[in-house]
Amino acid sequence: MTAQEDSARRLEDSELLDRCNELQRVLVSQDIDLLRVAGLRNKNGVPFSGLIYSHQMSVTIGQMVRDLELIVRATSLEEWLNRVEYLPL
């Protein structure tokens, strides 16, 4: 599901992480500001359901799709609590 599909496109980064918690979904983003917000949450003990980040210039769409498919097949939601992972793997 995309932020647009969830009518969450205009949410602030922290609110978007909260929304992902509600939906029990890991957030996938290329927004570097989300790294800062996730880091602050980790530092302050504020839980989030996980963040997968890729810089726009460091991974192709095809590689991103392959990496996300691998992540989905190899991990569970519980493993993602308060975790940040960078793509490409």
> Which string of DSSP letters, residue by residue, matches the chain?
--TTTTT-TT--HHHHHHHHHHHT--EEE--HHHHHHHHHHHHHT---S-EEEE-TTTS-HHHHHHHHHHHHHH--GGGGTT-EEEE--
> Which residue ranges make up each domain of the chain?
13-87
pLDDT digits (tens, 9 = 90+) for 35-76: 999 999 999 999 999 999 998 888 899 999 999 999 999 999
- The mean pLDDT of 15-27, rounded to a whole number, is 91
